[in-house]
Amino acid sequence: MKLLYVTNAVSGPGGLERVLSIKASYLVTQYHYNVHIITLNQPSTETFYEFNPNIVQHNITTSGSGITYFLSYLKALKKLIKTINPNMVSVCDDGLKGLLLPVFIKFHCPKIYERHVSKNIAIKVDSPTVLSRLKIGLIFKLMNFGASFYDAFVVLTHGNTKEWPLKNLKVIPNPLSFYPQVQSTLQNKKVLAVGKQSFQKGYDRLLKSWQLVALKHSDWSLDIYGTFDEREGLESLAKTLGIKDSVHFFAPVKNIADKYQQASIYAMSSRYEGFGMVLTEAMSYGVPCVSYNCPYGPSDIIANEVDGFLVANGDISKFSEKIIALIESEPLRHRMGALAKEHVKRFLPDVIVPQWDALFNTLIPLK
């Protein structure tokens, strides 16, 4: 099986990059796939996450904007696809151009689209204007149009299926990044959050919840790891809320597993998600999670009040209450953490990646 992934740059510390490194490497080592990856504007093959060295990386460099940029990309992509001559193409580009590729390129093999985020990523503010809503509606129609050309359209959760009026939908969750033998002692007075600073991740909401937590438990700290974005104004907000001494912002680190092991609670404040891989990572270390029940992902991962807490999306007060409940009850932390570590096994690569292999082999005879 010669499998080609088409994506953007995979050198960064994002969730898609981590998932692709795990999945593609597993297919090479366990199923002996011949895997190629075409990236866009990634001059170096050096990556944040480790990819199997037998994976062949190609890169397209293009510039300009709008139609000129897209046409230049299409021309280079067509040439590379013809040269590689894959048995299967999987597109992992969450942008509109990725969805529209089969409209402009005639693939001579089955084509799959992997959707790693919610459609809500197009929404950048809590209250969009009428003009913004019209623009978003048009984008959604174009997305649906492009998506219908794929042989299979894979989303990460059952909730995500509600966003796509398609007949070619398939649900395959993200595989776990790791499953350690060790686990957190849940003794450190640390709450952890991981992800880039952005509107999506909702750290402004997390800081407002933390203000309520800090009033009762000033000896606990909130550690946030993720790419900085000054436009989010999070450090300024922490200062305004009077919590700057108990909130710490860190850049992404490769040893993020160590941070999960040192944490006692994980907090996910996202407004929307494609999955919520950070939840599965925290749970693998036996760390109980508090998450907004945002669209979509957390409800597929957390069993509410069993191995973690799901809070109505945007309920800042209730979010703080659940964190406080875990802080104030060590038995509750340990009970939920133990169940979390057990329940998250359903996302092990040994369970998830065979679903991809089965899908690929199901589609091949159709062509």
DSSP string for residues in 155-214:
ESSTGGGGG---SSEEE-PPPPS---S----S-S-EEEEES-SSTTTTHHHHHHHHHHHH
Mean pLDDT of the chain: 95
Q: Quote the pLDDT of residue 127.
A: 84
Residue bearing tokens 């075409």 = 38
Q: Quote the pLDDT of residue 123.
A: 80
Q: Quote the pLDDT of residue 327.
A: 98
Q: How far is CA 11 from CA 113, 120, 184, 270, in A?
A: 20, 24, 29, 24
Q: Quote the pLDDT of residue 121.
A: 82
Classified as helix, coil or strand, 43 is coil
For 109-113, 118-122, 219-223, 302-306, which range has the lowest pLDDT when averaged over its residues? Answer: 118-122
Q: Does residue 113 have a cis bond before it (omega within 30 degrees)?
A: no
Q: Are 47 and 55 in contact (CB under 8 A)?
A: no
Q: Quote the pLDDT of residue 365.
A: 63
Tens of pLDDT, residues 313-351: 999 999 999 999 999 999 999 999 999 999 999 999 999
- Average of pLDDT values for 71-89? 96
For 36-40, 65-69, 71-75, which range has the lowest pLDDT when averaged over its residues? Answer: 65-69
Q: How far is CA 260 from CA 74, 99, 322, in A?
A: 41, 35, 19
Enter the pTM of the model: 0.91
Q: Are 67 and 100 in contact (CB under 8 A)?
A: no
**Confidence label for 45 from pLDDT (cuts 50, 70 and 90):** confident
> Above 70 in pLDDT, residue 66?
yes
Dist. CA 28–CA 201, nearest whole Å? 33
Q: Quote the pLDDT of residue 126.
A: 84
Tens of pLDDT, residues 117-150: 888 887 888 888 999 889 999 999 999 999 999 9
Tens of pLDDT, residues 253-276: 999 999 999 999 999 999 999 899
The CATH code that applies to domain 2-175+349-366 is: 3.40.50.2000
> Above 50 in pLDDT, residue 186?
yes
> Above 90 in pLDDT, residue 54?
yes
- Own/partner contacts of 237-241, CB < 8 Å, gap of 24 or more, are 237/204, 237/207, 238/207, 241/207, 241/208, 241/210, 241/211
**Confidence label for 367 from pLDDT (cuts 50, 70 and 90):** very low
Domain with CATH 3.40.50.2000 in the chain: 2-175+349-366, 190-347
Dist. CA 362–CA 205, nearest whole Å? 44
Dist. CA 36–CA 168, nearest whole Å? 24
- At the second CATH level, the architecture of 190-347 is 3-Layer(aba) Sandwich (3.40)
- CA 219-225-226 angle, 5° bins: 150
- Widest CA span in the chain: 62
CB atoms within 10 A of CB 51: 19
Q: Quote the pLDDT of residue 124.
A: 80
Q: Are 226 and 340 in contact (CB under 8 A)?
A: no
Q: Which of 15, 223, 27 is nearest to 121 (CA)?
A: 15
